[in-house]
Amino acid sequence: MLSAWKGGTPAHKRYLVRTMAFMVPYVAICIAMMTTDAFDEVMDKPAGWVLAAAVAAPVIGQIWATLSLMRESDEFVRAVTAKQFILAAGGAMAVAVFWGFGESFAGAQHLPAWLIYPLFWAAYGVVSPFIRASN
């Protein structure tokens, strides 16, 4: 991330700042949910929906940050970012569909739907180094 900051364009730097702004609260809520009992009292209550919205909001923010990067960048960066995003989203959706049908018809263990987001970013990290051309 440091090299991306040093060698990045102003648009990339803004993207990194925006990403951190959205990712830090998202990760903090997820870690608190997984490692503490902090949110147990909102379970099955309307406040549970507030918690769900609080985790979903940074996801929407991140999409905005990505679209802003594309808008503020040149045509090459725009095209490569779009390819990376499409491949990562497609890969994550394919895995989710595969596992969902596995749950319904093959007795696979149930996994929470929110895992699609970290799965998407894992896929983004895997495909990005290989997408270096727009054509």
Partner 1 sequence: MKNRLKLLRVERGWTQEQLGQALGVSRQAVIALETERHDPSLDLAYRIAATFGRPVEDIFENPHA
**Positions in the binding site for partner 1 (CB under 8 A):** 9, 73-77, 79, 132-135
Give 33 or 77: the residue with its C-beta nearer to partner 1: 77
Instruction: Tell me if 131 sits within 8 A of 84, measured CB to CB.
Output: yes
Closer of 62 and 73 to partner 1 (Cβ): 73
Q: What's the CA gap between 77 and 71, in Å, rounded? A: 10
Give the other-Cβ count within 10 Å of 69's Cβ: 20
On whether the CB atoms of residues 115 and 123 are closer than 8 A, the answer is no
- Residue with structure tokens 């018809």? 105
For residues 73 and 84, which CB has a smaller minimum distance to partner 1 in the complex? 73
Rounded to a whole number of angstroms, the minimum distance from the CB of residue 84 to partner 1 is 13
Q: How far is the CB of 6 from partner 1 (least distance, A)?
A: 12
CB of 74 to partner 1, least distance (A): 4
